[in-house]
Structure 1
Amino acid sequence: MSVATLIERKVSEAVPVAHLALENESHKHSVPPNSETHFKLVLVSDAFDGMLPVRRHQMLYKVLADELAGPVHALALHTYTVAEWQAKGGEVSESPDCLGGSKHDPEFKA
């Protein structure tokens, strides 16, 4: 099972979903082709009503703890209630391209 499929399944089982969009953004980073290491998750759920964004993220970090401890290097979370999503017009901005910073780059200094 792909990492993306596993993320979608775990989130859908843990949270009542009004809208879920998962994008593999690994191609924007310095990783081998076909990697599943960098994702953007847009999740709309009534379960987020009355919940601060940090609590929403903590909930998802707990659900995806195994993936975040293993194959997933980065997970951009965009979490909304149904009302917030409707107010945004169902739009989320594009993620920026990676600017480098790999420890393997000669200009990187730890």
Structure 2
Amino acid sequence: MSIMNRLREKLMVEFDPTRLDVVNESELHAGHRNSPGTGESHFRILIVSAAFAGKSRVQRHRLVNDLLRDELRGGIHALALATVAPGEAIPPGFSGQG
């Protein structure tokens, strides 16, 4: 299973999101220093879930990072996160994906 599919599956199961965008941006970083060149090293994730309601941005990111610990240790070089509760605004840079 690809890293992107593992990310999507874990996030769906754990957070039951109303919206989940997992975008592979690795091609934008090909040849950059420290990029592993695997084609699955840089991701941008937007997740909208009731699980984030009442939690700070730091708490939300910790929940996601803890869930994806193995993937982060095993090849993901960069992960941009937008963790949003229903009814909150989608941050700029994440709204046009899906």
TM-score by length of 1: 0.75
Q: What is the aligned partner in structure 2 of residue 4 from structure 1?
A: 4
Q: CA deviation at 1:92?
A: 3.8
Choose 1 or 2 for highest CA Rg: 1
Q: What is the aligned partner in structure 2 of residue 65 from structure 1?
A: 69
| Aligned pairs, number | 89
The amino acid that maps onto 2:9 is R
Distance in 2 between residues matched to 1:55 and 1:37, nearest whole Å: 24
- How far does the alpha carbon of each residue in 1:8-58 deviate from its partner, in whole angstroms, 9 at most, with x for none? 0011111121100000000111253x6100000000001111000000000
TM-score by length of 2: 0.84
- Taking the TM superposition and a 5 Å limit, the aligned residue runs for 1:9-48 are 9-29=9-29, 30=31, 31=35, 32=37, 35-48=39-52
Unaligned runs of 5+ residues in structure 2 are none
Q: Post-superposition, which runs of at least 4 consecutive aligned residues in structure 1 deviate over 2 A?
A: none
* RMSD (Å) for aligned C-alpha atoms: 1.6
Q: What is the aligned partner in structure 1 of residue 82 from structure 2?
A: 78
| Percent of pairs with identical residues | 35
Q: CA deviation at 1:71?
A: 1.3
